[in-house]
Amino acid sequence: MSNITPTSRRIIPFITTIKAIGRSLWYLRTFLVILIVIILINSFLIYLFESELTSTSEVTPPKTYLEAVYLSVLTACTLSYSTLNVLSPISKIILIIDSFLGFVVIGIIVWVVQYCLNENKLNISKYVLLDTNEIAKLE
């Protein structure tokens, strides 16, 4: 049996961590839904400003609301890979706002996951000498 000090290694209980992540995101659901609704409203505004414009050989504005939603979601997810582009300055400003909102949503989710992972770390040495039944009682 190897010598394990209390700070040498740490383990993360998978089920407990996943439950904590889900619970934390559930507490933030109103804020996340508001951000998603703002992105959908922005896509409607893009549709209003861009649907009447004609496409050029290089730029294809979104012609339907679903194309505008697709463009907004891609921008919010910071992917920015699309065959659709916008022409009007107002639509460009709206897409910049969408990208910032996407950074906020992604940042919140990453923060929640990181927080839950740090909160649920357990020392391996705590469980080395315990029977498996005693480990189940502790969790």
- Both tokens of residue 86? 């916008």
Residue 138 falls inside a structural domain: no
Residue 28 falls inside a structural domain: yes
Residue 6 falls inside a structural domain: no
DSSP secondary structure, 22-49, as one string: HHHHHHTHHHHHHHHHHHHHHHHHHHHH
**First-to-final CA distance of the chain:** 24
Inter-helix orientation angle 14-27/29-50, to 10°: 60
Task: Give the structural domain span for 54.
Answer: 11-127
Residue 135 falls inside a structural domain: no
Identify the CATH number of the domain in which residue 37 sits. 1.10.287.70
Q: Find all residues with CB under 8 Å of 99, minimum gap 6, and list them.
A: 75, 76, 78, 80
**Among 27-36, 100-109, 123-132, whose mean pLDDT is lowest?**
123-132
Radius of gyration of the chain (CA): 23
- Top-confidence residue, 105 or 138: 105
- Per residue in 68-122, pLDDT (tens digit) is 888 888 888 877 666 677 888 888 898 889 889 888 989 999 998 888 877 776 5
User: Whole-prediction pTM value?
Assistant: 0.66
User: Residue 136: its pLDDT value, please?
Assistant: 56
User: Residue 133: its pLDDT value, please?
Assistant: 57
Residue 136 falls inside a structural domain: no
User: Residue 68: its pLDDT value, please?
Assistant: 86
Q: How many domains does the chain have?
A: 1
